[in-house]
Amino acid sequence: MFKKINNVKQLKLKANEIRQDVVRMLNAAGSGHPAGAIGLADVYAALYFNVLYHDPKNPCWPERDRIVLSNGHVCPVLYSALANTGYFPKDELLTLRKLGSRLQGHPHKGAMPGIENSSGPLGHGLSIAVGMAIVSKRERKKWRVYCLMSDGELDEGQCWEAAMLAAKHRLGNLTAVIDRNNIQIDGHTEEVMPLEPLADKFKSFGWNVINVDGHNIKKFIDACEESKAVYERPTVIIAHTVPGKAISFMEFLTEWHGKPPNDEQAADAIKELEKQREMIEEEDE
């Protein structure tokens, strides 16, 4: 099983490395979705380096926790997390979206180790995760299911059908993580299709709800631990994030939802991230 990192400083450094990977990948590809992927770096660092029970050397380990990526367009952050934990060589990251690459613009189950589901059409992931969690509960397994979702995809009715089914089966082994960054491809979520009061909606569907700062790694890990203590209800962690977090010219701007950085922008982003890495290294343990 993968050895967990419990030191928050080291986890912050991993998140910084993931952000740099995403910038380089999307710049090399010349297409893709930077804002959401970069904004989720802290969440994925926390999951893959601390929260999950998994074994990169044995990707099909039956007792592994399952990650279902619903918003498949942010897959560069998933690919980076997998590479940095040892599922495949890091130099393969720069083949993103290339002809014949295993790393396409949306992940495909079976293409490479560590990918639990194919995704692309938004709104399907929670249904897949519910199915997995039902199997785990029925067979009395200890492994958990984590479904990573966007807030924009909650416009899809299928998400709420899956939410009802999860509550019906009392899936305490299911944790959904919503990237609450308030943007989608057509603009701000509250202008396209208002989601608030989001927490109250999930509570009314019978879910345990945790709101958390998605960039506070310790608090996110604590939220995941709390979800494990809830046995009779599924949990949703609403992770409030900033799209393009840590790159000043990307933060909060909807235009970066699906626009890759050019060479100059990528170089500027890496410089910013390198400065932040140095600041993290100077922090007290």
Element (H, E) at 70: none
Residue 2 banded pLDDT, cuts 50, 70, 90: confident
Cβ–Cβ < 8 Å for 76, 29: no
Write the pLDDT tens digit of every residue in 4-16: 999 999 999 999 9
Q: Report percent pLDDT > 90 for the chain.
A: 94
Give me the residue label for tokens 């989601």.
Answer: 195
Mean pLDDT over the full length of the chain: 96
Going across the sheet that includes 66-69, the strands are 66-69, 145-150, 174-180, 235-240, 208-213
Write the pLDDT tens digit of every residue in 7-57: 999 999 999 999 999 999 999 999 999 999 999 999 999 999 999 999 999
Look up residue 63 and give its two tokens.
Answer: 């007792």
At 207 the three-state DSSP class reads: coil
Residue ranges of domains in the chain, CATH in brackets: 8-282 (3.40.50.970)
Count other Cβ atoms within 10 Å, centred on residue 180: 21
Pick from 149, 171, 144, 116: which is nearest to 53 by CA? 144
Residue 3 banded pLDDT, cuts 50, 70, 90: confident
At 160 the three-state DSSP class reads: helix
Report pLDDT for 149: 98
Residue 196 banded pLDDT, cuts 50, 70, 90: very high
Q: What is the distance between the alpha carbons of residues 41 and 154, in angstroms, rounded to a whole number? A: 21
Q: What is the DSSP string of 1-12?
A: -PPPP--HHHHH
DSSP class of 96: T
- The model carries a pTM of 0.96
